[in-house]
Structure 1
Amino acid sequence: MMIPDYLAFTRYQDKRLLPLIYLILLVLWGLLWKNNGYALNQEDAGALSGIVAIVLFYLIHDLKAYWMYKGAVRGVDLTGFSAKPLSRITDFCCCPLMVCAVTALGCWLLVSYGFALLASRYAILGLYCLLPLLLYLIFRALRVVYIRQLSRVREQVPRLTLYRYTACFVLINSALNLLTVSPLKNNPDFSLAHGWLSPQLTVAMFILCGVVFSISLLFARWSKKYLFFGRMFLQEIDFSFSAAVPCASLQTQPLALRLVGFVTLQMLWIVAINALLALLSVELPFSLYFLICYLPANACYFLHLYWQWHTDFMTACDMYLRWSVIDKRATPW
């Protein structure tokens, strides 16, 4: 069987990757634009750059595992890459957190100067055309670096658990949600003019939590089985990655029943929080108020991700064991 060429494969992949980046940023920037009263300006540079950095993190966090999977199953010919080890400075500068931090800073400068030099509509259009292309170029550069890192044998790799892995994504998703909904602090529906017990405030927060939760679930549909497969080859995870399923009895319940339970819990939680804040006569920043009200949805989102990724991990374990047998049979004596 002929192994696909790296350049041919990446050309095929990039034709689908670049439109996907544009689509994701269109949705997220569009939500921020709508929540900000259909306007964006220089004050939104932090939110816009933060969204770009988080999207980049989602793209590159498991990139090395993906290419480990492709190389291990001989899905792509990676023999043309240099086996010369990369320097420690390169490894440090190319780790996902460092890359995303530098990208956030660079995007903040671009967005700030863009709005300062151009009218708002032209700045938004220019930045939307430029920043996804910048993410794509960073992705392409890191792809080569991560593939070259695959040849290095690392000892004492810290073992991940699915709890930590899922919690990391829930925290990042919370930050993304906060960036997109933060402009709503100026929305009249969330005004405290009628106090914490205002039905308008309660209903508005309930609808907001429901919409944010639905969009989060929509972006959580991608499978992780091949990425977990690659991480097993990288020895970053083993068969103890997910030892048990939390709330297993709840997982077996019908989806309709779980949705009814979530809606009821979310509404009761918001009412309880509003009553407590009214009793204590305290004021909270909108961002903190949203995070507290969103806790039940975040808990449900964590369980949803864990259940889905546990299934993907079980599939990855089965693939890993089967591939070990196939690889041994294919190896000449």
Structure 2
Amino acid sequence: MIPDYLTFIRFQNKRNLLYIYIVTLILLGFYWKNTFFSFSRDDAWLVSAILALVLYAFIADLKAYWAYKCVVKNVDLTHFLKKKSAGNKSLFLAPFGVLVFGYLIFCAFTWALLLFIPAGLTLVLLAVISPLFIWAIFALLRPVYIRQVTASERNTLKYKRLSHYLVITATMSVLMNLITIAPLRHSPQFDLYGRYFTLESIITMLVLCAIVLAINLIFLRFTRRYIFLGHLFMNEIDLTFSTTIPCQELYEKPRWLRLVLLVSIEFIWSALIALIVTISGWSLWFEVYFLLCYLPCLACYMLHAWWKWHNDFMMSCDMYLRWGELQSGER
């Protein structure tokens, strides 16, 4: 029996709220640890950005997900299909618009808390309340996106290639990484000016890059096959979205060998960057220096994302073509 919309979202709401809490607490926990378990007014802007990026991550492909649900009809959306609606396509409701709006909301909320309670309690309250805000915005946008799907003409190509989709995701990932590690600039361990080209400094950056990459790869484990299927149904991508994968020979290598290559390249690259910065006498911001050292790990992240999402897309194409055959057979 196909569940109706209200029954389905009651189950989904519980699961989504749990996911939002887990992701938010992990990211705020890392940020808090990097501030040496302190919180001040200067941190309000960065914490608000973290929360806004979490919100964006949960709603970026929400419309595509419900396009998949709408077409395959494993949820009864009669409630929306009966209503004739052109769908509100305001820029403020687009994922990037919601990102900006969410950032402003979280900034206002954080500063309001700081006005009335000690800074030490503000982060605790944010960790408890902000996931509920994110979940509420998610729940409010869901019917809007469903109405857009049911009213859409489905004739606009949004992403020509997987690389375009990947660049947006990688950019958001880098922003989150930079914001989360930003407090480390105040750590004596990462005060590297004048001693970039030392073994201790190089290994310190190597470990930091490895930790950041490992966390990013964990979040890559979630499949996007149904997201890509939704994009296919809306014609936002086509069957040429991803035809091959880069570095095929590297992809076929054992995982342990790829790991050894990455560590070796990252060490040599970090040493080279440290040498250049030392010789030039530059005084770089910590975030800039980290990003320069992180480039090999970023390339690794993008390759792994490309490989995984290519496989997910191939499965989406298979389901898309099979669905087309089933629909043709019914006619």
Structure-1-length-normalised TM-score? 0.95
Q: 1:244 deviation in Å?
A: 2.1
Q: 1:94 deviation in Å?
A: 0.6
Q: 1:200 deviation in Å?
A: 2.1
Match of 2:24 in 1: 25
Counting aligned pairs with the same residue, the percent is 38
Match of 2:54 in 1: 55
Inter-partner Cα distance in structure 2 for 1:120 and 1:171: 30
- 1:83 and 2:84 aligned: yes
- 1:267 and 2:306 aligned: no
Inter-partner Cα distance in structure 2 for 1:196 and 1:204: 10
Gap runs ≥5 in structure 2 = none
- 1:277 and 2:268 aligned: no
After TM superposition, the structure 1 = structure 2 runs for residues 28-177 of structure 1, keeping only pairs within 5 Å, are 28-81=27-80, 82-88=83-89, 91-151=90-150, 152-177=152-177
- Is 1:191–1:201's contact at 8 Å kept on the other side of the alignment? no
Secondary structure at the residue paired with 1:131? helix
- Is 1:68–1:147's contact at 8 Å kept on the other side of the alignment? yes
- Is 2:159–2:165's contact at 8 Å kept on the other side of the alignment? no
Inter-partner Cα distance in structure 1 for 2:52 and 2:88: 25
- Is 1:42–1:115's contact at 8 Å kept on the other side of the alignment? yes
Q: 1:85 deviation in Å?
A: 1.1
Inter-partner Cα distance in structure 1 for 2:155 and 2:217: 36
Match of 2:328 in 1: 328
Inter-partner Cα distance in structure 1 for 2:285 and 2:174: 16
Q: Would the alpha carbon gap of residues 156 and 230 (structure 1) be closer, same or farther in structure 2, given more than 3 Å must change?
A: closer
Counterpart of 1:257, as a letter, is: L
Inter-partner Cα distance in structure 2 for 1:193 and 1:296: 22
Secondary structure at the residue paired with 1:150? helix
Q: 1:87 deviation in Å?
A: 4.3
Match of 1:248 in 2: 248
Q: 1:115 deviation in Å?
A: 2.0
Inter-partner Cα distance in structure 2 for 1:159 and 1:267: 35
- Is 1:189–1:200's contact at 8 Å kept on the other side of the alignment? no
Q: 1:194 deviation in Å?
A: 5.0
Q: 1:40 deviation in Å?
A: 1.3
- Is 2:68–2:227's contact at 8 Å kept on the other side of the alignment? yes
Inter-partner Cα distance in structure 2 for 1:117 and 1:202: 43
- Is 1:42–1:116's contact at 8 Å kept on the other side of the alignment? no
Inter-partner Cα distance in structure 1 for 2:329 and 2:225: 24
Deviation track 1:139-198 (CA, whole Å, cap 9, x = no partner) reads 011100000001221444344310010111111100000000011011111123652212
Gap runs ≥5 in structure 1 = none
Q: 1:265 deviation in Å?
A: 0.4
Q: 1:320 deviation in Å?
A: 0.5
Inter-partner Cα distance in structure 2 for 1:35 and 1:186: 9
Structure-2-length-normalised TM-score? 0.96
- Is 1:114–1:123's contact at 8 Å kept on the other side of the alignment? yes
- Is 1:224–1:312's contact at 8 Å kept on the other side of the alignment? yes
Aligned length: 328
- Is 2:88–2:144's contact at 8 Å kept on the other side of the alignment? no
Aligned-pair Cα RMSD in Å: 1.3
Inter-partner Cα distance in structure 2 for 1:126 and 1:271: 42
Counterpart of 1:120, as a letter, is: A
